[in-house]
Amino acid sequence: MKYSSINLEQKFARFSEHWRPKIVAELNDYQLKLAKIEGEFVWHQHEDTDELFICEDGELLIEFRDGSVTLGPGELFVVPKGVEHKPSAREECKILLIEPRGVVNTGEADSDLAAAGEEWI
């Protein structure tokens, strides 16, 4: 078996589109996904799973119907399952998401921002 690390900056450099998560690793039934975001996403929720956001670069705002949280580089937040939320970033932000295999980025919401398929980089 060949052992090698995953360089997140090199992976981020391989894509430019926003709101299209790319899988970089799997851990048991969980996927680690990188995404570049800018602007506003859609209000959505994940009924069956929590969602972990880790800010790698930039500033990530996660809005809730009753408040918000802002993340800077090196900070993380777990959105509990069933909680409606809307991520956004004024300028490009790089994030790492950890969620179960097969989770759609828009949850149950109907949106053009839904990521099609599972793209590995």
CA–CA dist 22, 19 (Å, integer): 10
Q: What is the pTM of this model?
A: 0.92
Domain range enclosing 87: 8-100
What is the model's pLDDT at position 35?
A: 96
Q: Is residue 86, in this structure, part of any structural domain at all?
A: yes
User: What's the number of domains the chain is made of?
Assistant: 1
- Taking the chain (121 residues) in runs of 10, the rounded mean pLDDT of each run is 95 96 96 96 93 97 98 98 97 96 74 74 93
CATH of residue 41's domain is: 2.60.120.10
pLDDT of residue 107: 66
Between CA 81 and CA 3 the distance in angstroms is 34
What's the pLDDT score for residue 105? 75
3-state secondary structure the chain: CCCCCCCHHHHHCCCCCECCCEEEEEECCEEEEEEEEEEECCCECCCCCCEEEEEEECCEEEEECCEEEEECCCCEEEECCCCCEEEEEEEEEEEEEEEECCCCCCCCCCCCCCCCCCCEC
Q: Is residue 20 part of a domain?
A: yes
